[in-house]
Amino acid sequence: MKSLAILPNWVGDTVMALPVLDALASTGRRLSVLGRPHLRPLLEGRSGIAEYVVRAPSNAGTIDALSDSGFDEAVILPNSYRAAWLAHRAGIPKRWGYGGWSPEGLLRGALLAPRVPDHRERGRHQVADYTELLSAMEIKVPTEWIPRLELTPQQVREGRDLLARSHLDPSRSPLIGLFAGAEFGPSKRWPWKRFAELAQQLRRNLPGSQQLVLAGPKETWLAVRIHEESGKIHPVVGPDLDLGQLASVMSEMDLLVTNDSGPMHLAAALGVPCLSIFGPTDPRRTSPVGDAHRVLYTDRWCSPCFRRRCPLLRHRCMRDITVEEVTQQAIQMLAPE
């Protein structure tokens, strides 16, 4: 069986889909994945994945690539109409996916063959959202839905070399990462000035610790401001790295303090403890998976609202979480057992 899994576009959603990719590969299928170019360094060469097919700049280019590959089935993980449409236009005979009852869900369902009714349980974690899909495909459902990423020895060496370039020594722990971004929008971001204050507090309370400010290309401005505001001591790492290199760097950290974000899920899949700050999103759905993590969430009457910007303008769900509270939690998580 030559199978294609169509990946979500977001880093976090893709990491949370790793258990379903492992379940598909465990059946003996020759599994390929279709995804955006920026996700390729993360998954290319992963055990069980035969090929990473890059989404072309145009839909026509993607359809041509899929048509030429002769796939027997497509497993469509995103809930978008376009993902189902691409598989349909490419002529892939079997197209597994959820069909909902919204107007877009009904249109999407018409392109699926077979269509799996969207009976997913409300309130459960997003990693388990593919339970009903796997059951419909008669594939054994994982006993645990914990995404895991393993690096090669070469990637580990590359991560240490990248840290050394920023004058950081992973052997001198603790190494603490700070990530102030969230591509979803401003509402998911704890104020950047508080990240700067946090870096100073951690330096005072953990004199031997090292902090680095993580950033992707879109978070460079935030990271530079935190670097400057916290005394120009903590290096900015990440804007010039691809996701594979970023994962290599993150794997060396002892703790990541982060908003609800793609790097949060990436760190958790690498086994890095995360102290995650939630506001407009629901930690029951998208918190980092595992026992090593902690979530700070005020659970106000208006949250989770899932808005990109606070409609009340106050942004209390994030602003009510203090620097002192985050500092205390980070120190507890780093304390030897």
- pLDDT at 337 exceeding the cut of 80: no
Contacts of 81 (CB under 8 A, 6+ apart): 104, 107, 108, 111
pLDDT at residue 333, as a whole number: 97
Residue 311 has pLDDT above 90, yes or no: no
Considering only residues 103 and 146, tell me which one the structure prediction assigns the higher pLDDT.
146
pLDDT digits (tens, 9 = 90+) for 156-181: 999 999 999 999 998 888 999 999 99
Q: Assess whether pLDDT exceeds 90 at residue 65.
A: yes
pLDDT at 40: 96
**Would you state the structure tokens that stand for residue 296, as one six-digit string?**
């700070």
Q: Is 151 helix (H, G, I), strand (E, B) or coil?
A: coil
Mean pLDDT in residue range 314-325? 93
Whether a cis peptide bond, with omega within 30° of 0, leads into 304 is yes
- H or E stretch covering 11: helix 11-16
Of 49-58, 114-123, 141-150, 255-264, which range is least confident? Answer: 114-123
**What domains can be seen in the chain, in order of their start residue?**
2-136 (3.40.50.2000), 154-334 (3.40.50.2000)
pLDDT bin (cut points 50, 70, 90) of residue 32 is: very high
Whole-Å CA distances, 150 to 47, 67, 147, 237: 10, 32, 10, 21
CB atoms closer than 10 angstroms to residue 190? 24
**Mean pLDDT rounded to a whole number for the chain:** 94
pLDDT for position 100: 78
pTM > 0.85: yes or no: yes
Q: pLDDT over 70 for what percent of the chain?
A: 100
Distance, in Å, from the CA atom of 174 to the CA atom of 257, rounded to the nearest integer, reads: 13
Which of 132, 121, 96 shows the shortest CA–CA distance to 111?
96
- Confidence band, pLDDT 50/70/90 cuts, at residue 185: confident
Can you give the pLDDT at residue 71? Answer: 97
pLDDT at residue 6 greater than cutoff 90: yes
Q: Dmax over Cα atoms in the chain, in whole Å?
A: 61
For residue 327, pLDDT beyond 90: yes
Identify the pLDDT of residue 104.
80
pLDDT of amino acid 313: 81
- pLDDT on residue 200: 96
Instruction: Identify the pLDDT of residue 240.
Output: 95
Torsion of CA 141, 143, 148, 151, to 10 degrees: -90
